[in-house]
Structure 1
Amino acid sequence: MTTSAWPFVPSVLALVGMGVVIVLAGVRLTRVADSLAERTGLGDALGGALLLGAVTSLPGIVTTVTGSLEGDPGFGLANPVGGVAVQTVWLAIADLVYRRANLEHAAASLENLLQALILVALLAVPVIAYATPDLRLGWIHPITLLIPVVYGYGLFLLRRLQKSPMWEPVLTSATEKEGDGPEASHARMSSLWLQLAALGLVVGVAGWVIGQAGLGVIATTGLPSTLVGFTFTTAITSLPELVVLVTAVRMGIPTLGVGNIIGGNTFDTLMIGMADVFYLEGPVYREAGDPSLVLLGGTMLMTAVLAGGLVVRDRKGIGFEGFVIPLIYLSTVGLIYATG
């Protein structure tokens, strides 16, 4: 399935316009999701993973599906992996906004740490698929079916951990406690769910526009689709996560913001499976080329550093992860450009 590419100028204007739409929707998303997280009993970390993680990932989902259906495996695969990478970089930016303490210190929670470990496991699955290109189940790789299974089991572990934690981080004066932050909205639950659905529809449509505009940029500039997918389009489709993170931090609920990033990253790995399902010419992994391994390796390394930051918990200022994560991201982009 291919359509004619959009011209360069309309593509750039569409990317900018959808960025504005996503930013505006993201601010409201934070407040709605925070109220739902408290009133449903999910808590900030798990609520950030399920409610915000899923909805804020919609632009990336639609962009990924668009790229795969249009027959560009590099673009299709680079979008979800790039989304995980750039959203992890957002944490370093949010660290600058949260002046009270190191963000990972304040948002330390077992749920966020476990989600980071689940994310590393999910990112390892496509690496195995890349190394076994001859395995097929119809037009997809059979290991694609493992991605939602691992994700679902990860959610089960998160819920079990929340009910009966076996250990907990040391609480300090800079650690956010569950229930901190603004009082939940008194709006009816049905109204909150409708607002969440409407905002999800808005950012979903924005994702389709971003996908078409990104393909237009690739066609008119000749830039590698892996590079465009890993940087430009993911930076825009990941704006909801940035807006939600910064808004949550400024509202005094950093655990919700960090949970949104890590939970959104975990949810984004489902898009890797979608890229394979909607790329109808065969398994997407090998078709995306060797740069896809660079993306996966760099993103796994960033996630491992983030998990280390949640464990070490530097008390003041930006921790080591605040410097190392952006450095790994820039190095990964440089390697993609050099090999593209």
Structure 2
Amino acid sequence: MLLAGLAIAIGLPVLLWSAGKFVGGAASIANHFGVSPLLIGMLIIGFGTSAPEIVVSIFAAINGNSGIALGNAYGSNIANIMLILGLTALISPIAVRSNIVKKELPVLLGITFFAVWQVLDGTVSKDDAFSLLGLFVLLLSWSIWHGMKGDKDVLADEYSEEINATEGTVKTHLIWLISGLLLLVASSRMLVWGSVEVATFFGVSDTIIGLTVLAIGTSLPELASSLIAVKKGEHDLAIGNVIGSNMFNTLAVVGIAGTLQPMSVSADFLYRDVLVMIAATVALFVFCIGIKRQGRLNRLEGAAFLAAYIGYTYWLITVAFI
């Protein structure tokens, strides 16, 4: 048990640090070779913040811990919206001005409902997983098309400011890219092993561990980037990173894990956690799409998200130790 606790305590910060270096190195190298800031932002930064979730879920699926793989992906989606955007909006209201973000919101909503429809039969089969990856390829193509168009957009300007703020040579960024990837893989294996051991020791399901410890832990990069973005006045970047991460989690994280190992979905997970994810996504859409008003997430809405997440987490903990 002591070793398992140390594995989590050491593995999680190393995972987050290495993910940041990996994504930063990739973005800087792409920028050096003239890739547009919008394309770098939507592909490397927007999706790359989900690197911890995908590596953790891959190793969980390989080890047969489908509860961790699925709980980590969907739990991160819930945490991204309710915890991260809730806390961020509570500190500083978030205005949504980017047309790209407004186009991504209904796409995220559609992807979420499609993923929920897939798990209604109580499983994520290999066919389900491949269809998720197929949608992910379409999403990548759409992102690349937007990035290559070079349209003027608030989000493009905010990505450009973030990318141009980085310093260092190509060689330095390449070293960070490779070392970040290696540490990302090693820390993920350590984290999954420690989580399974802790779950076994306390007699709780690995799904609960995935929804709580791992979901919150692997969502910390999004929390940090959202808080920094809002502090700089880059509101659309805060929302855009969360939307991109949730799309990646739903399609790529679950899709890749499902191709490695079909995953069963318990009734508790379906009627509790999946419904919470739907409710959070629908609420985000309603708040930010801006029907007959400026799209925004104000302090009251942020407080509601945060309070709901605290209540949801308390519910999970209560269920785990009954």
1:67 is matched with 60
Distance in 2 (alpha carbons) for counterparts of 1:318 and 1:325:
11
Shift of residue 149 of structure 1?
Answer: 1.5
Shift of residue 118 of structure 1?
Answer: 2.6
Which letter maps to 1:302?
Answer: A
Q: Higher mean Cα deviation, 116-125 or 245-254?
A: 245-254
Match of 2:76 among 83, 100, 123: 83
Which letter maps to 2:259?
Answer: V
1:320–1:164 distance in 2 versus 1, CA, 3 Å = farther
1:272 is matched with 254
Distance in 1 (alpha carbons) for counterparts of 2:62 and 2:158:
44
1:292–1:213 distance in 2 versus 1, CA, 3 Å = farther
Give runs of aligned pairs for residues 1-340 of structure 1, distance below 5 A.
Answer: 7=1, 9-25=2-18, 32=25, 35=28, 40-44=34-38, 46-88=39-81, 89-96=83-90, 99=92, 102-103=93-94, 105=95, 108-132=97-121, 140-161=125-146, 179-180=160-161, 183-185=164-166, 187-189=168-170, 191-251=172-232, 253-269=234-250, 270-279=252-261, 283-286=262-265, 288-312=266-290, 313=294, 318-334=298-314, 336=316
Distance in 2 (alpha carbons) for counterparts of 1:178 and 1:59:
21
Q: Is the 8 A contact 1:92 1:326 kept in 2?
A: yes
**1:214-252 CA distances to partner (integer Å, 9 max, x unpaired)?**
111110001232221101112112222223333444455
TM-score by length of 2: 0.79
Distance in 2 (alpha carbons) for counterparts of 1:184 and 1:12:
37
1:167–1:91 distance in 2 versus 1, CA, 3 Å = same
Structure whose residues are more often helix by fraction: 2
1:3 is matched with none
Shift of residue 151 of structure 1?
Answer: 1.8
Q: Is the 8 A contact 2:47 2:245 kept in 1?
A: yes
Which letter maps to 1:275?
Answer: A
Which letter maps to 2:131?
Answer: L
Shift of residue 17 of structure 1?
Answer: 1.9
Q: Higher mean Cα deviation, 19-28 or 196-205?
A: 19-28
Q: Is the 8 A contact 2:47 2:248 kept in 1?
A: yes
Unaligned 5+ runs, structure 1: 1-6
1:253–1:38 distance in 2 versus 1, CA, 3 Å = farther
Unaligned 5+ runs, structure 2: none
Distance in 2 (alpha carbons) for counterparts of 1:252 and 1:198:
32
Distance in 2 (alpha carbons) for counterparts of 1:182 and 1:158:
18
Number of matched pairs? 314
Shift of residue 328 of structure 1?
Answer: 3.7
Distance in 2 (alpha carbons) for counterparts of 1:290 and 1:141:
22
- Identity, in percent, stands at 20
1:291–1:23 distance in 2 versus 1, CA, 3 Å = closer
